[in-house]
Amino acid sequence: MTEYSKELLTYFYRTMCRIRLFEETVEKHFLNGEIPGFVHLYIGEEAIATGVCANLTKSDYIESTHRGHGHTIAKGADVNRAMAEIFGRKTGFCKGKGGSMHIADFSVGMLGANGVVGGGFNLAVGAALGIKMQERKDVSVVFFGDGASNRGTFHEGANLAAAWNLPVIFVCENNKWASTTPHGSQTSVENISDRAVGYGMPGVIVDGNDVFEVYEATKKAVERARQGGGPTLIEAKTYRIKGHFVGDPELYRTKEEVKEQFEKNDPIKRFEMKVLEEKWMTEKELAAIKEEEEELIKKSVEFAKNSPFPDASEIYEDLYV
């Protein structure tokens, strides 16, 4: 059995808890009518962003999706400013111009969530081209869903990344639902990773609710990319616990199905069971981390709510340099 440092285990647990608590809090305030727009939650998929980003440094890039809060947090973005952005405040990362679907923190290499499904592929490929031309050792990661893998952007990006041998990691979060349609109904293959073959890159499948598996597979892919070995496609199998968006009536599945998935496959519970069983961490340690994160998220809401909205006069700012 692989030994993990206490530091890494703590990062895993802290990050997954932070994302979960952040998302539950966002959901609550959205339903209270305090958050404008659309919100897509990452609950149940926390192990993927966490396991992937544990392998990255600040100068590595990620391209995210409309379901992007988890990626933002895992890449190390400040939760106060993330929450403030979602609340539409001036202190948010985008000064209230982006919101949930366009959250970004360039200071940690988080190049943006994207309101267009499949919009991030080629941006990530281009960022990797920049990395390569500057002779850096960094990598560029693009998160996407099983639904996005049906877009032409995926296929063009995968081809270019492989043809030019670019340091890109394609991370498919196969959560079984492309908006309202189940995976098998609109996608030609069972495993998205099979598509890697068509582009001459390795494709691997991991249990997306097992942070250790995600971490190990990403580690290999990142090392390969840093050494000039080119792109990898990682398919992380998971399940979307929440609706496509908050407020989704979810007419396409039963509550029982969701409940069963969450009960048997919650990535955070699975982590707790594993580290306790292996005696890598104690209940006390876990509880202390969780408590700290609860406090952090609570404070982020206070920060957001106490922040001013942008002034209407700011509408023309940041359009051009």
Partner 1 sequence: MREITFSQATLEAMSEEMRRDKSIFVMGEDIARQGGIFGQFKGLPQEFGFDRVRDTPISETAIMGAGVGAALAGMRPVVDMHFADFMGVCMDEIFNQMAKIRYMFGGQCRLPVVVRAPDGLTSGGAAQHSQSIESWFMHIPGIKVVIPSNPADAKGLLKAAIRDDNPVIYFENKILYREKGPVPEGEYIVPIGKANVAKEGKDVTIISYSIMMKKAFEAAEILAKDGIDVEVIDLRTIVPYDRETILESVKKTHRLVIVHEAVKQGGVGAEIAAFVAEEAIDYLDAPILRFGAPFTPVPFSPVLENAYRIKIEDIVKGIKEMF
Phi, psi of 209 (to 5 degrees): -100, 10
Among 155, 252, 253, 270, which one carries the catalytic annotation? Answer: 252
Q: What are the residues binding partner 1 (CB under 8 A)? A: 61, 63, 92-98, 102, 104-107, 111-112, 114-116, 119, 121-131, 133-134, 140, 152-153, 156-157, 159-160, 163, 317-321
Say whether 320 is catalytic: no
* Whether the Cβ atoms of residue 284 and residue 5 lie closer than 8 Å to each other: no
The angle subtended at Cα 65 by Cα 84 and Cα 321, nearest 5°, is 65
Closest separation in Å from C-beta 112 to partner 1: 6
Q: With H, G, I as helix, E, B as strand and everything else as coil, classify residue 151.
A: coil
Query: By C-beta, is 163 or 288 nearer to partner 1?
Result: 163
Say whether 183 is catalytic: no
Among 66, 89, 195, 240, which one carries the catalytic annotation? Answer: 240
Query: And the tokens for 211?
Result: 């942070």
Closest separation in Å from C-beta 119 to partner 1: 6
Among 18, 89, 195, 244, which one carries the catalytic annotation? Answer: 244
- Specify the length of the chain in residues: 321
DSSP run (H or E) holding 237: strand 232-237
* Whether the Cβ atoms of residue 149 and residue 187 lie closer than 8 Å to each other: yes
The angle subtended at Cα 271 by Cα 300 and Cα 291, nearest 5°, is 35
Closest separation in Å from C-beta 107 to partner 1: 8
- The residues, any chain, with a CB within 8 Å of residue 79's CB and separated by 6 or more, are 18, 22, 73, 296, 297, 300
Closest separation in Å from C-beta 86 to partner 1: 13
Query: By C-beta, is 129 or 296 nearer to partner 1?
Result: 129
Closest separation in Å from C-beta 98 to partner 1: 5
Closest separation in Å from C-beta 175 to partner 1: 23
Query: By C-beta, is 80 or 209 nearer to partner 1?
Result: 80
Query: And the tokens for 29?
Result: 């305030």
Say whether 244 is catalytic: yes
Q: Measured between alpha carbons, how far is 62 from 74 in angstroms, rounded to an integer?
A: 10
Query: By C-beta, is 6 or 137 nearer to partner 1?
Result: 137
Query: By C-beta, is 112 or 267 nearer to partner 1?
Result: 112
Torsion of CA 170, 173, 174, 175, to 10 degrees: -170
Q: Measured between alpha carbons, how far is 108 from 68 in angstroms, rounded to an integer?
A: 14
Query: By C-beta, is 94 or 241 nearer to partner 1?
Result: 94
Q: Measured between alpha carbons, how far is 21 from 273 in angstroms, rounded to an integer?
A: 19
Show which residues are catalytic.
240, 244, 252
